[in-house]
Amino acid sequence: MAYDAQAVRRLVARGKQWDKVFVIVGLLCMMVGILTLALLLVGLIQDGAGRLNWQFFSHFPSRRAAQAGILSAIVGSSLVMLVTALAAIPLGIAAGVYLEEYAGRNWVTEIIEVNVTNLAGVPSIVYGLLALSLFVYGLDFGQSILSAGLTLALLILPVIIVSTREAIRAIPGTIREGAYALGATRWQTVRDHVVPYSTGGILTGVIIGLARAIGETAPVITIGALTFIAFLPPAPVSGEFPFLSFEWMRSPFTVMPIQMFNWLSRPQAAFQENAAAAGVVLVVMTLLMNAAAIWLRVRYRKRIKW
């Protein structure tokens, strides 16, 4: 059969047309998401940019809008994140490593796995209720940074566990076999190979979890974060013995989302501006954390090529 160039060309041209159609449709869909986000940001910035100055960051909230600042909120958010990280990271990684490397393939493990994934879907306010009865009253941590940090740690625990497990699963079996073939014990293999090589994925999961936690409002309100805090928690280090104190963990506090909510519910327009400004700060913080996650992932991917 002779080669029919015309027919082939027509076929290819039709295929390419569909290519173009899909590219346009895809672009439009993408733009919808991006444009929405952009509009929101622009709106926020327009409303709040005027209030962003050093004073805003260094003042406590006040009845007078012009003098209100987010100092206590930022400090509160940061301290809560600190507690969350300190609690969730070791627990999450250890649980993930145990489930992947040590647990046998039996029905007990399967139940645990199912529960871990389900935890991620529990509404965050339910976590707040749990925290209220367990941390605030049961263990008598009170309405403090400690309780908030632990609550949020529970919230993001599934995220960390899952990303740890995914990162560990990405390690090829031959690497593990190579380690075992050299006479390594299971612990040595985990310590020298499994955990170091999955660090990239784990860190990514941690940061994504924290980025989510920083914006969680419902559980924090439930356990009683106050909305008008005009003081900072006591400093952890002091000049006198015992130099390190944990008083700050038991101190009352507030966080960014709550401060925003508080301002939003006031009628004065000036407070709306404050809220917008705080919103901008919150968005920037979240974006920075996500960017850090992406950068880490890229960096680790360069060193480890499976």
| 103 scored as a contact of other proteins (CB under 8 A) | no
Which of 33, 104, 239, 267 touches other proteins (CB under 8 A)? 104
| 107 scored as a contact of other proteins (CB under 8 A) | no
Rounded to whole angstroms, the Cα distance separating 252 from 146 reads 10
Contact set for other proteins, span 39-68 (CB under 8 A) = none
Q: Going residue by residue from 229 to 248, which x/- string records binding to other proteins, judged by CB under 8 A?
A: --------------------
Which of 17, 185, 238, 265 touches other proteins (CB under 8 A)? 185
| 197 scored as a contact of other proteins (CB under 8 A) | yes
| 192 scored as a contact of other proteins (CB under 8 A) | yes
User: Residue 25, by phi and psi: left (phi above 0), alpha (psi -120 to 50) or beta?
Assistant: alpha
Compare residues 104 and 242 and give the one whose CB is closer to other proteins.
Answer: 104
Are the C-beta atoms of 198 and 303 separated by less than 8 Å? Answer: no
Helices (H), strands (E): how many in the chain? 12, 0
Give the number of other Cβ atoms within 10 Å of residue 143's Cβ. 20
| C-alpha pair distances (Å), 106 with each of 92, 101, 111, 187, 203 | 21, 14, 9, 21, 29
Widest CA span in the chain: 96
Which range, of 49-57, 63-71, 175-183, 262-270, touches other proteins by CB under 8 A? 175-183
Q: Going residue by residue from 63 to 102, which x/- string records binding to other proteins, judged by CB under 8 A?
A: ----------------------------------------
In single-letter form, the type of residue at position 292 comes to A
Compare residues 20 and 105 and give the one whose CB is closer to other proteins.
Answer: 105
| 180 scored as a contact of other proteins (CB under 8 A) | yes
- DSSP structural state of residue 235: P
DSSP β-bridge partners for residue 237: 244
- Interface residue list for other proteins (CB under 8 A): 104-105, 172, 174-185, 188, 192-193, 197, 303-305
